Amino acid sequence: MKALPCALLASAVLLSGCAGSSHQTDTSSSSVHWWNPLSYTWSSALPWNWFGSSVAVSEEGVGKITRSTPFNAEAISDGIGSDYRIRQGMGTRNGQIESYIQAMKDQQVAMTFYGDGTVNNISVSDSGVGTPKGIAFGAPFSALFQKAYGNCQPGRDSQHVQCKVPNSQHLEVIYQGEFSGPSGIMPADATLKQWTLSEILWHA
């Protein structure tokens, strides 16, 4: 007779645990709604994503994303793990209208992916992402460069410059700082030494 109450109690605990898990799943899925109907968050349910994932930039790509990764939200979500929410959109880049896929973290754009069939360009601004040796978010220009000539070009506006990473075929970095000159003009090296790394670019 004692076994029956114990079995009933165990069943109640098990059922309440399942109900709690179902409620958590519903809450998680309902919290991810974007203007674009294509959102992929199901990968967070996979066992290998339960403990998050470490994403790093390398010559090959970002996280598990390489030049052979299909340019779609599902593949990109799988490649960077469940710490990010995915959304799609369209914008202008280099004077061309093109689609992009963004990875969001804490309501901020952490990474932006571009491609045509497969991923061919990635912009990374998430300071939590791992970086190659010698490259660090917030590091001064002088940590990698002594001069801009031969290494850098003007960036998207007068507050940014874009530079090729030494001895790399696929990585560039963007520095940000204050400059009162017009867009398209490179600041003096003395000015750039105070600028800091704000973005890492990977291209196939």
Amino acid identity at 177: G
Residue 173 belongs to domain spanning: 141-203
Quick check: is 130 in a domain?
no
Q: How many other C-beta atoms are found inside a 10 Å radius of the C-beta of residue 100? A: 18
* 81-124 tens-digit pLDDT: 999 999 999 998 878 899 999 999 999 999 999 999 999 999 99
Instruction: Let me know whether 61 and 119 are in one domain.
Output: yes
| d(C-alpha 41, C-alpha 34), whole Å | 12
* 133-185 tens-digit pLDDT: 999 999 999 999 999 999 999 999 999 999 999 999 999 999 999 999 998 99
Instruction: Let me know whether 59 and 96 are in one domain.
Output: yes
| d(C-alpha 187, C-alpha 178), whole Å | 9
Quick check: is 107 in a domain?
yes
Quick check: is 25 in a domain?
no
SS3 59: coil
| d(C-alpha 150, C-alpha 170), whole Å | 17
| d(C-alpha 144, C-alpha 46), whole Å | 39
Instruction: Let me know whether 46 and 112 are in one domain.
Output: yes
Q: How many other C-beta atoms are found inside a 10 Å radius of the C-beta of residue 202? A: 26
Q: What is the pTM of this model?
A: 0.74
- What is the total count of domains within the chain? 2
Amino acid identity at 165: V
Instruction: Let me know whether 83 and 47 are in one domain.
Output: yes
Quick check: is 16 in a domain?
no
> Any idea what the CATH number is for the domain that residue 194 is in?
2.60.460.10
Degrees (nearest 5) of the Cα angle 59, 65, 67?
65
Instruction: Let me know whether 116 and 145 are in one domain.
Output: no
* 127-138 tens-digit pLDDT: 999 999 999 999
Could you give the C-alpha distances from 52 to 45, 56, 117, 161, in angstroms and in order? 11, 13, 27, 33
Quick check: is 65 in a domain?
yes
Whether residue 31 is predicted with pLDDT greater than 70 in this model: the reply is: no
Quick check: is 131 in a domain?
no
